[in-house]
Amino acid sequence: MNRRTQTALAAAIAAALTLGLGACGSKDKGDDGSGDTAAASSTKGPGADSGTIVGGTPVKGGTLTVLTNQDFAHLDPARNWTLPQMDFGTRLIYRTLVTFKAEPGDAGNQIVPDLATDTGRPSDGGKTWSFTLREGLKYEDGSPIKSSDIKYNVERSFSPDLTGGPDYAAQYLAGGENYKGPLTGEHLASIETPDDRTIVFRLKRPVAEFAYTATLPTFAPVPPAQEKGTQYDMRPFSSGPYKIESYDRGKQLVLVRNTNWDPSSDPIRKAYPDRIVVTQGLKGGQVDDRIIASDGADASAIEMPWMRPESVAKVLPKADVKSRMVAERTGCTDSLYLNTSKAPFDDPKVREAVMWAVDREAQVTAFGGPAIADVATSFLPPSLTGGVKADPLKIPAAGDPAKAKDLLKAAGKTDLKVSLTVSLGDKTRGEAIQQSLSKAGIQVTVNTVDPSAFTDTLGDAKAAPELTINGWCPDYPSGATFLPFLFDGRTIKDKGNQGNYSQFRDQATMDEMDRIAALPDVNEANEAWKKLDEALLQKAPAVPLMWQRRALLVGTNVAGAFGAPGYAGMIDMATIGLKDPAKSQG
């Protein structure tokens, strides 16, 4: 959920995409549902909104290489809630009760049974949800997967030491207010497992979309006998098609086949490669350059997390390389979060001034240009507002420093000095914020953090930075997975704080969230979320910056690659593979 050269470069990128990717326009992701690249026309290359599959259908076997500049923040399913780790974990190492279809375009937003036989059976007006596991499910050692193992992992998500994971269980499950996880021997009565194949969740209130929640890693099984506390991150026990052979943090992770995974029990994952090698710690644009060249083992490589913006200009002019690019819309919003728990951003007028001071066009340029990002004008992305770009404040995309200065003067807060903390890859964007706020008289010091430690750095509420840039992606297509996680004060944790990086506590906002959550009509709720979005923009706990597309490149020997809508445009690891396994190395 995180995410960069000059204006001339941005214009060149935009022009190249206008000529080469005619499918972009204003459509939502994957509207045409077209097939693989061989069938694509010369005016509609793969990527941006096309729903295309790069490389055709893979052949089973070989070694897929993943090149990345970072380590995984968390692979423990109780803690895994960032991209691309979530896609990687749930598609390769462990399975969940329900999951997203492994298809490009709109179909990829649909949920289907995974470990369960269906997508859940609601009762008691939506306050109780029951699931039945498929028969014959096994872990990597051949032992059976039990419903009690899923209960155990959901309970683990409450543990104060296992921070960083989704908060849905804590929000929804009855009796979870003061629960601290199963390591002390306590268990939640609101999760029942009457037999080894049945699990029942009893909720505080009706949740019509609970089936979507069951797609999250929280709802993967963990057998209690494998519990290793925080060390479980190093070696999650496999219920999926691959298991961890070795993991040298920051250097390399190797996956091999889980021979006890039964493909007949799994309609989603194809598990084409025999082996997946993740090479970590690469520098700068080295990943992009290697996959552009596609020499040796790199021909069978994909990148993680995504292409650097400055590399896009190297790709678009070359038809053969551009044909290997995936660039689906993400449905995510990048924002500048203002820490409202301390001065100066506890003052609404100061926050309003920042809202007017930020140059969002500069953010788009710093990210790579208007071809791969759009200026954001609301917190909710167009994918959650019926495809309409909401713009209630009508603030110029380049900002209005003069108005920002007037607001600061009225607040009696001039000559402010604040710090901005960003992930290392967002340094250019941080400097763009620094420049735009300086025009309003706000001096900004930019601090960078290694990507693998960024989430945990922001999660320490007491030591949290004054300003930070981060993104939020909906876990499924609903405002319920967006605004509450960003701005509900009750979600703030001292350690492992996720989403509400503004530490925004506003009673009126929380009351309205509760009212919307209780609405039985989904359409009425969607309209209410849009109105709440407008109200939050007025209160300015954060500044929406941009809506991006996920630009990803694959090697010449890679097949089955497409941006997964359910995973914010990341390459769907469920169907990835190779054209010719004999050409792979590793």
Report the DSSP pairing between strands 128-132 and 111-113. unpaired
Beta bridge partners, 550, equal 328
* Spacing of C-alpha 398 from chain mean position: 27
Smallest CA-to-CA distance from 420 within 364, 360, 456, 464 is with: 464
d(CA 125, CA 311): 51
| Entry pTM | 0.79
d(CA 60, CA 544): 43
d(CA 541, CA 532): 13
d(CA 391, CA 376): 9
Q: What is the pLDDT of residue 497?
A: 85
Q: Is the dihedral of CA 270, 273, 279, 284 positive or negative?
A: negative
The DSSP result for 431-472, as a single string, is HHHHHHHHTTTEEEEEEEE-HHHHHHHHH-GGG--SEEEEEE
Smallest CA-to-CA distance from 217 within 108, 96, 75 is with: 96
Report the DSSP pairing between strands 333-338 and 198-202. unpaired
Query: Is the separation of the CB atoms in 471 and 2 below 8 Å?
Result: yes
Encoding tokens for residue 106? 């709109």
**Could you report the per-residue pLDDT of 526-546, keeping only the tens digit for each?**
899 999 999 999 999 999 999
Listed as ranges, residues in the chain with pLDDT below 70 are 1-50, 586
Run of H or E including 311: helix 309-315
What residue ranges in 216-307 does DSSP mark as E strands? 242-248, 252-257, 275-279, 301-304
**Could you report the per-residue pLDDT of 114-139, keeping only the tens digit for each?**
999 999 999 998 999 999 999 999 99
The DSSP result for 1-38, as a single string, is ------HHHHHHHHHHHHHHBTT-TTPPTTTT---BGG
Q: What is the pLDDT of residue 586?
A: 65
d(CA 552, CA 556): 13
